[in-house]
Amino acid sequence: MPLIRLTPAHTAAVHNFCGECRDLGWANNSTIRHMKFFENLERGGGWFGFMESGRLLSVAGHHPLPEVHTDAHRIFYRSATLPEFRRRDKGLHRGNGPRGREYIEAFFRALPLGELYITTNCEPNAHVDITRYHRAMQIQARMRDSYIVYEGDRILYDTQQSLWRIDRDRYGEMLI
């Protein structure tokens, strides 16, 4: 199943995906408006997703992150993976699994210059999946050969978040 760049031509599939996210109680992706699908495209961002038989199973966006510096980009923005697809590929959004690597490589191709960052909500009472993802990033960053570098905590978009930089060189070494 290929990873594709999502465009306005995929609006119907994104809308259906958002309906499934709403049914799961996922507020950030419950509607195209909450997902900020078009707003993200308008501000220079983009989207990727995995589709199977016309059904969108996973999405992840990217956008400029001038709050960090002029050449920074946030990746895995509004990322979400439906549960049945998530079970097939552990570590998807940390790049540990084959599909996670496909996402990271797509971000590298789309954003060949500048630094790439992942953010996680580090508030202790966040949704259980968000807390689990944050803890997994902490563990990943502590690994000896990790390409994830913890850059500290800060307020971004009115939320306390941890900032994780992707070390492009280390990532490339990991694939050799």
Residues 77-130 pLDDT 10s: 999 999 988 765 554 444 557 788 899 999 999 999 999 999 998 766 656 666
Task: Calculate mean pLDDT across residues 7-18.
Answer: 98
Domain, as residue range, for 145: 3-175
23-29 contacts, C-beta under 8 A, 24 or more apart? 24/82, 24/83, 26/80, 28/78, 28/80, 29/59, 29/78, 29/80
Q: Could you tell me the pTM of the whole model? A: 0.88
pLDDT in tens, 135-149: 888 888 888 888 999
Using only C-alpha atoms, the chain has a radius of gyration, in whole angstroms, of 15
> What's the rounded Cα separation, in Å, for the pair 102 and 113?
18
Name the nearest CA neighbour of 120 among 129, 112, 108, 107.
129
CATH, residue 88: 3.40.630.30
Q: So what's the pLDDT on residue 159?
A: 87
- Domains in the chain, number: 1
